Amino acid sequence: MNNSKKFLPGLFLVLIIVFLILGAILYLAAYFWGFFLILLAGILYFIRQVITLGPAEAKLNVKLMGKKLMVPVVGILCSMILAILIMIITGYDPLTVLKSLFYGGFIRNWHVSVLNATPLIFTGLSIAIGFKAGLFNIGAEGQYYIGTMAATYLGLKLGLPPFLSIVLIYLISASAAAAYNIFPAVLKVKTGAHEVITTMMFAHIARYLSPIFVLANGGDPATSTHVYVTDEIIRTNFLPYFSSFLPEANYRLHIGILIALITAVAINFFLNRSKYGYEIRAVGANADAARAQGISVGRNIILALVMGGFLAGMAGVTETLGLNHKMFQNLDAGYGFNGISVALLAGNHPIGIIFTSLLWGALDAGGQYMSRTTGVPGAIVEIIKGMILFLIVAKYIYSWAGNRLVSRRKARAEEGLA
């Protein structure tokens, strides 16, 4: 009896994980029926909750989860309504725009969305870990540049067996980006220089120095007219493609997204279940209280920023080994800023960042598709993104509106009484 009580939830857990992983891989590779596996995993999860906790509590959990998702959903709906208004004002047919935006982003060019989302997950995590420690790693873009440069350099030179080579490139390049972020971290601890300024400045420095690197590694102004670009990295250093094991997947889709997912799960575990993660969160929540508990504030500030640098560097490595295979001089990626958006949207929750990055990636991919097919400026997506961001981050807006409504009703009721 006792045995079966433990056996069943255990079996369910294994099934949920298997379905979830399989479903995610398939779905991300644009095998859309993978979605049913994810759905199945969700249903199994609910059944498991009913078995282990009893129906009442399971229902409550679902309700709580729904409440948590309320703000994002309402925010997205509200910004869609606003976007429709803007489209009408500026003379575009909202129906055509939205239709091709969603068709392009979520179905037709879903693989582009996934490719877009991959680096965003890393930079989003980088910024989220900073926020958890009460720090704003606004210069993630710079660390991304360092990661890209290191990965390109090693990718050009390192000719070890493929797997070993890729792992080494990941470790060394991301560590270089992490090391780059030590400077602002130490300055913050030693002198109190605000990380918003220092990381931003370091980002500009990395950006402006990158052309030197590109030119030194094959960027020949004589051969290329306006875009300077390095030579292509060694073929064995490419990240494997999905199409090598899923024949119908898009040929550009690389396994970087899976590395991103694993990293997100690992960071989630680190932040919420490990001692170091607890310390980082404690420092972010209340530095004085953390100090009183005997937690070293300085050490955790450095740890959070260095880890942030490592993650942003991983974004650069993934883009280089998986997608670009070389470095462009005018690499104006914008992953730093977009990373801020996805982190804020997800409330700095590592798992949430996966979804917000996919949403952001899909909006970008859909915007491109839309402007190609309908001629509507793709930049309308930037507006939609901005509004979604604002309406979700400014959570207080809902309780403010609610209060307004209630007090007005109250006033009206009082008037009626009088």
Residues in touch with other proteins (CB under 8 A): 90, 136, 138, 183, 187, 190-194, 196-198, 200-202, 204-205, 208-209, 211-212, 215, 332, 337-338, 340-341, 344, 377, 379-380, 382-383, 385-386, 389-390, 393-394, 396-397, 400, 407, 410
Q: Which lies closer to other proteins via its Cβ, residue 41 or residue 392? A: 392
CB of 262 to other proteins, least distance (A): 28
Q: Which lies closer to other proteins via its Cβ, residue 306 or residue 345? A: 345
Return the closest-CA partner of residue 20 out of 43, 4, 3. Answer: 43
CB of 60 to other proteins, least distance (A): 29
CB of 269 to other proteins, least distance (A): 25
Contacts of 239 (CB under 8 A, 6+ apart): 166, 254, 255, 256, 318, 321, 322
187-215 residues labelled b (16+ CB within 10 A) or e (exposed)? bbbeeeeebeebbbebbeebbeebeebbe
Q: Which lies closer to other proteins via its Cβ, residue 45 or residue 360? A: 360
Task: Determine whether 154 is exposed, middle or buried from the number of CB atoms within 10 Å of its CB (0-12, 13-18, 19+).
Answer: buried
Is the separation of the CB atoms in 140 and 336 below 8 Å?
yes
- Calpha distance 321→100 (Å, rounded): 31
Q: Which lies closer to other proteins via its Cβ, residue 56 or residue 89? A: 89
Contacts of 170 (CB under 8 A, 6+ apart): 314, 317
CB of 208 to other proteins, least distance (A): 5
Q: Which lies closer to other proteins via its Cβ, residue 205 or residue 323? A: 205
| Residue for token pair 């644009």 | 30
For residue 229, give the 3-state DSSP assignment. Answer: strand
285-305 residues labelled b (16+ CB within 10 A) or e (exposed)? eebeebeeeebebeebbbbbb
For residue 179, give the 3-state DSSP assignment. Answer: helix
Q: Which lies closer to other proteins via its Cβ, residue 117 or residue 255? A: 117
CB of 52 to other proteins, least distance (A): 37
CB of 349 to other proteins, least distance (A): 15
44: number of Cβ within 10 Å: 18
Cα within 13 Å of Cα(32), Cβ side: 5
CB of 148 to other proteins, least distance (A): 16
CB of 217 to other proteins, least distance (A): 14
Q: Which lies closer to other proteins via its Cβ, residue 303 or residue 345? A: 345
Is the separation of the CB atoms in 336 and 322 below 8 Å?
no
Q: Which lies closer to other proteins via its Cβ, residue 248 or residue 332? A: 332
Phi, psi of 376 (to 5 degrees): -75, 135
Question: What six digits make up the tokens of 328?
Answer: 């462009």
CB of 188 to other proteins, least distance (A): 9
